[in-house]
Structure 1
Amino acid sequence: MLTSQVLRVTARATSSLLLPSTQYAGKTIPRTVKMIARSFQRSTPAFLQQPTQRDGFFEAASCKHITHFEVGPRSVKVEFFDGEPSEYPYVWLRENCQCSSCFNASAIARAFLLEELDLTITPKDVQLLDGNIHVEWHDGHVGVYKGDWLHHRSFKPAIRAAKRSHYMLSKELWSAKFGIPEISFVAAFHDDQVILDWLVALERYGVVLIKGAPLRPKTINQFIDRLGFVKPTHYGLDYELKTEVSPNNLAYTGCKLGLHTDLPYYDYAPGTTWLHCIRQHEGKGGDNDLSDGFFAASVLQKEHPAFFDFLSTKQIYFQDQGVAMYRFNKLTKWPTIVLDNEGQMQRINVSSQSRDSIMDLDVDEVFTFYEAIKTYNDILYENSIRVKLQPGDILVLDNMRVLHGRQPFDSSTSVGCRHFHNAYIDWDELRSRRRVLQDRFGIKFS
């Protein structure tokens, strides 16, 4: 295991943060992005400002006039001024008519109803006027489709890929030699462009370290308020981690915590977890172990495909009971490795602390489960990093992907108790904030 090295982006200094290729105004910037903390003066938060582009897909970036079209039995083929062709089904064109009767522009919402849609619809007439397609339907309704608008909704693979990246950035997997991206609390709190760089790094790598935060509880709540809102749990909006005599969670003890994701007993587990170090244990221990669950799962899939298939299909119970804000009894059932409908990794559920002893498995499957989960756990640790947070550090983790643990410590050997503050925010809010800032600054990420 290697101790984590840190990549720095600090206030009033230019540093390098490794990010994927980025396009600014159509120009590709090298993989190493230079980031400068700009003005630290407070201004109206970007999420309160009107976006410059409502669609969020950079429609104003080009002028894709149509120069030619060809009417087919079920679709119209168009050719843009640069010679690029594209095809649009009539049924799609009718449902997506942008006239005021079919689309509410202020609400950015379709008013046309499915019950009104004829699946076999064909046009009465199609014309090309001023680079745009005008379609008259047999019921007399006329739709005007601008070239730019059509181009950004093309069914061509490259355009669809661009929309996918706007929805969710691609992941950069990492292992034991990974260096955690780092930013200044002051720079990020007051500069929206630094916030955007930070959000991109978090979405790509699943972990970012914020340095220089004030040493008081609720600091992360204030930071999260810049991004969206805190996700509440049965612990409340947030909670403090201090060693307790009769804890309701192992986090309140000094024992070792194995690599885990937070709150897998929630169907809607927190998207990201925030750990703010206010006072660290001064002696040996208290370090955090971190591991990329997606990377470890990819190794498992390659080297032990049967174990991967088992952990991605067999569901396991996770539970937690106790009293916090109220008496709770949480119970869910999840695969260890959750895949989406395309077979891509979507969520990791690992927690020895809260994995239930009741298992909905046959006896033979129990043996396979332990072989598979132990193998996965070994791979996680073989590819983990270790970092000991210092007072003022905030560690932000993708709770769907990056597992964290803690080395044991003896609180009796330290002056003052170890004091951390913890809160959560979901990915829906963070990705929304990233898109708003992308639209505001006119930036595309591949």
Structure 2
Amino acid sequence: MQSISKLEKNSTYLKVVWSDGEESKFNYLWLRDNCPTAHDKDSRHRMFNILEVSQNINPKKYNVSSDGKLEIEWSEGDHTSYYDPKWLRENCYTIKNKKKYISPYKLWDSSLEKNLETIQIEHDEIINSEAGLIKWLELLHYTGIAIVKNAPVEKNSGLKVLNRISHTRETFFKTPFEVINIPKPNNSAYTAHALRNHMDLPWFENPPGYQFLHCLVNSAKGGDSSAVDAFAVADYLRNNEKDIFDILVNTPLKFRDKDYTQEAIRSVHGTAISLTKDGDYNDIRYSIATLDALDCHPDQMDSVYKAHHRFGNLLHDPKFQINFRLEPGDIFSFNNRRLLHGRTEFDPNSGHRHLQGYYMDRDEIIGRLKYLKQN
């Protein structure tokens, strides 16, 4: 563990020189806000109110205590703080912001189709072992796709394995939603038609993070599945067609729920590609079926439509897309805000096709994985 070897007071921050030569700049307001006494010991919520001190707060006295802690007597509030050097080093934003960001995502293209076994996992392995659950969560988080094999084929039986992660997210489609061919459908998923690669529910402000399609029966002719890693497509554009990439990142498209059974109008503007604070891929929001009439500025409309057109074609390009057939007992699991999914047309007179669908928020997958990996 690194220790503090030198301290230097500046106008807005305290400079800490570490025993390995690294330097940290700790802002005074940040330090006061993160005093160990600021948090309730049980709930761990911050109880200290930073608004109760002035913006000019600074150390009246500061030193390294006999047990190696940073000790600060503040200019206001008759308060002294003691900071563990291990905590300071782990939370040092100076060092964090110097590090090169490395994306956790494993991008893929059509070559994955020849290696589908790398994204498959046995249902019982997840049910019976923490290692199996971690493997599934890692596939979902890093690769964005997993196919659970040999799950039961009874109705609602997907809930048992999903609850190994967390609770599902309820929508007006109910849980689970039934992907079958029905008369007078309120969604194209409930037909025998082909479905272009799409995300579900792009007209929600916060579309579900993950989707799980549990195949119960698939005896009809047709109805093969497709998937594309839209992060990989976005990355291709970023590296090869930056002008189109920038339009898709910066210009919101308009999506609308067109479900005639709903007594609500759900409409959202969202960019086709959104990025994280580190410039990594955060979300893809794309569905030709539920794109509303765009309302971009007249000077932008031509370039926006051409970017939308180019992106859409790449999202169906054979070099990026994989194709596979779901078997009874398969649970097609994927990041709904990264991976677009579709299917070929099927003949409802040739056999039955029945999937049950579930949604889960992305926080549940990532949060559960972090928890399991820390133990």
Counterpart-to-counterpart distance in 1, 2:289 and 2:223: 18
Counterpart-to-counterpart distance in 2, 1:306 and 1:84: 39
TM-score (norm 2): 0.89
2:20 aligned with 1:123, yes or no?
Answer: no
After superposition, the CA RMSD in angstroms is 2.4
SS in structure 2 of the partner of residue 104 of structure 1: coil
* Equivalent of 2:106 in 151, 164, 172: 172
2:182 aligned with 1:244, yes or no?
Answer: yes
What's 1:258 paired with?
196
When structure 1 is superposed on structure 2, of 418-427 and 307-316 the one drifting more is 307-316
* Equivalent of 1:351 in 287, 301, 309: 287
Q: Which amino acid is the alignment partner of residue 433 of structure 1?
A: R
Q: Which amino acid is the alignment partner of residue 176 of structure 1?
A: S
What's 1:384 paired with?
321
Deviation at 1:276, TM superposition (A): 0.6
Instruction: Work out the number of aligned pairs and report it.
Output: 367
What's 2:240 paired with?
303
2:125 aligned with 1:184, yes or no?
Answer: no
Q: Determine if contact 2:226/2:342 at 8 Å carries over to the other structure.
A: yes
Deviation at 1:81, TM superposition (A): 4.4
Deviations 1:252-275 (A, max 9, x none): 111110010111111111001111
TM-score (norm 1): 0.76
Deviation at 1:369, TM superposition (A): 3.9
Q: Determine if contact 1:64/1:148 at 8 Å carries over to the other structure.
A: yes
* Equivalent of 2:43 in 84, 107, 116: 107
What's 1:223 paired with?
161
Distance 1:318 1:89, change over 3 A: closer
Distance 1:151 1:318, change over 3 A: same
SS in structure 1 of the partner of residue 244 of structure 2: helix
What's 2:91 paired with?
153
Distance 1:78 1:361, change over 3 A: closer
Counterpart-to-counterpart distance in 2, 1:161 and 1:279: 49
When structure 1 is superposed on structure 2, of 360-369 and 376-385 the one drifting more is 360-369
Counterpart-to-counterpart distance in 1, 2:8 and 2:240: 51
Q: Which amino acid is the alignment partner of residue 173 of structure 1?
A: L
Deviation at 1:188, TM superposition (A): 1.1
Percent of aligned positions with the same letter in both sequences? 28
Q: Which amino acid is the alignment partner of residue 126 of structure 1?
A: Y
Q: Which amino acid is the alignment partner of residue 86 of structure 1?
A: S
Deviation at 1:67, TM superposition (A): 4.0
Counterpart-to-counterpart distance in 1, 2:133 and 2:295: 44
2:341 aligned with 1:407, yes or no?
Answer: no
What's 1:319 paired with?
256
Deviations 1:313-346 (A, max 9, x none): 332222224366x644322222222334554432
What's 1:421 paired with?
356
Deviation at 1:295, TM superposition (A): 1.2
Q: Which amino acid is the alignment partner of residue 315 of structure 1?
A: P
What's 1:374 paired with?
309
Q: Determine if contact 1:261/1:403 at 8 Å carries over to the other structure.
A: yes
Counterpart-to-counterpart distance in 1, 2:71 and 2:330: 58
What's 1:292 paired with?
229
Counterpart-to-counterpart distance in 1, 2:93 and 2:310: 42
Q: Determine if contact 1:86/1:156 at 8 Å carries over to the other structure.
A: yes
Q: Which amino acid is the alignment partner of residue 152 of structure 1?
A: E
Deviation at 1:194, TM superposition (A): 2.3
Distance 1:238 1:89, change over 3 A: same
Counterpart-to-counterpart distance in 1, 2:2 and 2:297: 59
Q: Which amino acid is the alignment partner of residue 61 of structure 2?
A: D
Counterpart-to-counterpart distance in 2, 1:71 and 1:372: 51
Distance 1:71 1:373, change over 3 A: closer
Q: Which amino acid is the alignment partner of residue 283 of structure 2?
A: R
Deviations 1:127-157 (A, max 9, x none): 2221111111234311111111111111233
Counterpart-to-counterpart distance in 2, 1:67 and 1:343: 35
SS in structure 1 of the partner of residue 257 of structure 2: strand
Distance 1:90 1:307, change over 3 A: closer
Q: Which amino acid is the alignment partner of residue 285 of structure 2?
A: N
SS in structure 2 of the partner of residue 177 of structure 1: helix
When structure 1 is superposed on structure 2, of 397-406 and 147-156 the one drifting more is 147-156
Which runs of no fewer than 5 residues in structure 2 stay unpaired?
A: none
Distance 1:111 1:281, change over 3 A: same
Q: Which amino acid is the alignment partner of residue 245 of structure 2?
A: F
Which runs of no fewer than 5 residues in structure 1 stay unpaired?
A: 1-62, 441-446
SS in structure 2 of the partner of residue 209 of structure 1: strand
What's 2:370 paired with?
435
What's 2:70 paired with?
133
Counterpart-to-counterpart distance in 2, 1:75 and 1:367: 49
